[in-house]
A and B are shown apart, each in its own frame.
Chain A
Amino acid sequence: MTDSVAGISGMIIEKLLANPKVPRDIDGNSKIVEDLAFDSLAVMNFVMEIEDELDVSVPLDKLADIRTINDLAACLHTLKVAHA
């Protein structure tokens, strides 16, 4: 399930929805800061949760280019492939 971008994106959404404050209608194109109202610290802390799931570490500079859930999924997928 976590070996494709779509699979990772689905896993991220599932984790996000576990937080009751996150809007129910999010999808892969939702913007993390604008649509989910995450500040920079909340983004870093959320990424930490997914890192464990995928056994990768995301360097902070990579987060700068990420806007949507799908961007994050693509970034994690690239790191996972590189690490495998």
Chain B
Amino acid sequence: MTDIFAKHAGLREAYEGLTAASPRNPFEVVIERPISASVGIIEGRETLLFGTNNYLGLSQSKKAIDAAVETAETMGVGTTGSRIANGTFGLHRKLEAKLAEFFRRKHCMVFSTGYQANLGTISALVNKDDVLLLDADSHASIYDGAKLSGAQVIRFRHNDPVDLEKRLARLKDHPGAKLIVAEGIYSMTGNVAPLDKFVDIKTRYGAYLMADEAHSFGVLGDHGRGVAEMQGCEDGIDFVVGTFSKSLGTVGGYCVTDHDGVDLMRLCSRPYMFTASLPPEIIAATMAALEDMQERPELRIKLQENAARLHAGLQKVGLKTGEHVSPVVAVTLETVDQAVGFWNALLENGVYVNLSLPPATPDNRPLLRCSVMAAHSPEEIDRAVAVFGEVARHFGL
């Protein structure tokens, strides 16, 4: 009998090597419970949370909590069905209408997660006769959506409009539809995409453009519509995809567009059709969080200030961060051992960040990925920077 797990031998070796060298398993950190948006109990200690995607702190929104409780009490906790069968409630339609209005688009489709929004949108839009052009550093959900679609996949260099254009030029005689996919803010590095330049290129080459604003929705742009709003190029983006699991603090994903063709996506997008729809209390909380976000633009301003404070602070203590000031601030280290040691020391000193390891990181280097929240106080940020500085000195960096 062939050992079904034999294929994981390499992974096991890497995993065991890593966990043997680390006082605690980096993949099994347990937040026993959050005390507030910015502080949680980890290993029995109050720990500063700098590794969530809770950018606006809305996972603890009073308004969202109240809406969830009230809705659970009146409608129950689940839909027990898919959107195309018994899983569409009035609330799903209401949320779709609200999001379409927020993004000033004609159509919105809501998915059960952001991961499924990418899978469901990409796989429904292109097939084997088409070409996908993906930023090389795209999120796994984009690559998986590409695989599910069966389309030809071509990677272009990260955030590089010249490379994208070169690749589109090579495809000039290809008869299929071309869909370019980029993210707004990149989840690992905090890099911001030049969507305005991609719009110019896609227009000249007759391609479509999809932007995943997972990390930029609610975060960038005067109204929180993301990088496209900030760069003034929303009209040129054909499809915007995103998630509720970051700035809105709940769970779920969406796709918004002005193309009327998406109506039929509800009948051919398998990740939309063959899974249970979002439960009513989540929809209610998401709508309340969206309202909270719209009513409190100061959260976005605070977030930007906090991002700038953390970014500058980490640079000042001599650490290597990305050039973009965004709510994701990644400190790049050279070796995995160094990163594991650094990450453990941060946690022991009361600061939780994400340990991100290759191949999930660009150019093979480990990252300590920090994310900032509007809910962080300046003192909390300064405290985190001070701990980073002490640990860096301890490791001779």
Chain A residues within CB distance 8 Å of chain B: 39-42, 44-45, 48, 55-61, 83
Contacts and interface: CB of A to CB of B under 8 A. Distances in A.
B155 A44 contact: yes
A7 to B, nearest CB: 20
B170 A39 contact: no
A45 B136 contact: yes
B359 A56 contact: no
A82 to B, nearest CB: 10
17 contacts: A40-B359, A41-B358, A41-B364, A44-B136, A44-B155, A45-B136, A45-B363, A48-B155, A48-B157, A56-B170, A57-B167, A59-B131, A59-B152, A59-B153, A60-B146, A60-B155, A61-B153
Given A57-B167, A83-B170, A48 B154 contact: no
Contact of A57 (B170, B363, B364): B170
Contacts of A40: 359
Nearest to A39: B359
Nearest to B146: A60
A61 B225 CA distance: 34
B160 to A, nearest CB: 10
A39 B395 CA distance: 29
A60 B359 contact: no
Contacts of A59: 131, 152-154
A30 B154 CA distance: 25
Nearest to A33: B10
- Give the most central of A41, A56, A83: most B CB within 10 Å: A41
**Contact residues of A: prevailing secondary structure:** helix
A56 B136 CA distance: 16
A55 to B, nearest CB: 7
Contacts of A55: 170
A39 to B, nearest CB: 5
A53 B186 CA distance: 28
A40 B143 CA distance: 13
Interface string B345-374: 000000000000011000110000000000
Interface string B11-23: 0000000000000
Given A45-B136, A59-B131, A60-B155, 16 more contacts: A39-B359, A40-B359, A41-B359, A41-B364, A42-B359, A44-B155, A55-B170, A56-B170, A57-B154, A58-B154, A59-B153, A59-B154, A60-B146, A60-B153, A60-B154, A61-B153
A58 B153 CA distance: 8
Contacts of B359: 39-42
Interface in B147-181: 152-155, 157, 167, 170-171
Contacts of B155: 44, 48, 60
Contacts of A44: 136, 155
A44 B170 CA distance: 18
A42 B361 CA distance: 11
B152 A61 contact: yes
B158 to A, nearest CB: 10
Contacts of A41: 358-359, 364
Contacts of B146: 60
Contacts of B363: 45
Chain B CB count within 10 A is highest, among A41, A57, A60, for A57
Interface string B222-257: 000000000000000000000000000000000000
